[in-house]
Chain A
Amino acid sequence: QQQVKQSPQSLIVQKGGISIINCAYENTAFDYFPWYQQFPGKGPALLIAIRPDVSEKKEGRFTISFNKSAKQFSLHIMDSQPGDSATYFCAASRGGGNKLTFGTGTQLKVEL
């Protein structure tokens, strides 16, 4: 299975700060890159997704930056809030609804 590498493994950010999580992929056939948020004991929920024809996508406080040549993409959470404390997973697939390869996850804690 093609890997998606995610970093950091854990992250502590002060309330109001910017949280940045990075992912890198190997398979150049991937063309759909979603980010998921997961709270303990719950299934993952789609936050935002991007396709490689754009370099950035913003939805509210969440922004994906995409670098096709470097095969990297990142999630930026602006004005981080304690309610954002969760585990975040990047993923990649060939086609939007096809099987996803997940990153290893980042446990985010936003402190007051």
Chain B
Amino acid sequence: GAVVSQHPSWVICKSGTSVKIECRSLDFQATTMFWYRQFPKQSLMLMATSNEGSKATYEQGVEKDKFLINHASLTLSTLTVTSAHPEDSSFYICSARSGALDEQYFGPGTRLTVT
């Protein structure tokens, strides 16, 4: 149980375009989802926290107009990278928790490459 999926697993886009990444909790209702970014050989850095039906809370230094997060249902959150640039190339990972679970469960990640 407690499976989180992400789609796509890998995406390449051109500079200036937008790309959407989906995060789904497959067997539980996720009241809270988190989005992380991880650069090669580095740790995970929290970008934002989203609660179902409300606006996301962004960490300091994360541009909310560039990284749009929507958590419209209890099983789906999306991260849209708008006007992507090569420096946005990274590994994006989501996690999810339900009110009944103590832990966060992580998705498999999405590799974004901006050319």
Give the residues in chain A near B105, CB-CB below 8 Å.
46
Whose C-beta in chain A lies nearest to the C-beta of B99?
A: A97
Give the residues in chain A near B107, CB-CB below 8 Å.
43
Interface, chain B (partner A; CB < 8 A): 4, 6, 32, 34, 41-46, 49, 59-60, 91, 93, 95, 97-98, 101-109, 111
Q: Is the CB of B104 within 8 A of A100?
A: yes
**Besides the known contacts A1-B59, A107-B41, 7 further A-B residue pairs in the complex with CB atoms under 8 A apart:** A42-B109, A43-B4, A43-B108, A46-B104, A97-B97, A97-B101, A97-B103
Inter-chain CA distance A49–B60, complex, in Å, is 27
Inter-chain CA distance A45–B32, complex, in Å, is 18
Give the residues in chain A near B41, CB-CB below 8 Å.
105, 107
Give the residues in chain A near B91, CB-CB below 8 Å.
41
Q: Is the CB of A43 within 8 A of B93?
A: yes
Q: Is the CB of A97 within 8 A of B104?
A: yes
Inter-chain CA distance A99–B57, complex, in Å, is 11
> A41-B111, A97-B32 are contacts. A104–B43 as well, Cβ < 8 Å?
yes
Interface, chain A (partner B; CB < 8 A): 1, 32, 34, 36, 41-46, 49, 89, 96-97, 99-105, 107
Q: Is the CB of B42 within 8 A of A99?
A: no
A selection of 25 A-B contacts at a CB cut-off of 8 Å is: A1-B60, A36-B106, A41-B91, A41-B109, A41-B111, A42-B109, A43-B95, A43-B106, A44-B93, A44-B106, A46-B105, A49-B102, A49-B103, A89-B43, A97-B102, A97-B103, A99-B46, A99-B49, A100-B104, A101-B46, A102-B43, A102-B44, A102-B45, A105-B42, A105-B43
User: Counting chain B CB atoms within 10 Å of each CB, which of A32, A49, A102 scores highest?
Assistant: A102
Inter-chain CA distance A101–B111, complex, in Å, is 22
Q: Is the CB of B109 within 8 A of A103?
A: no
Inter-chain CA distance A97–B104, complex, in Å, is 6
Give the residues in chain A near B103, CB-CB below 8 Å.
34, 46, 49, 96-97
Inter-chain CA distance A34–B98, complex, in Å, is 17
CB distance from A48 to the nearest CB of B (A): 11
Give the residues in chain A near B32, CB-CB below 8 Å.
97
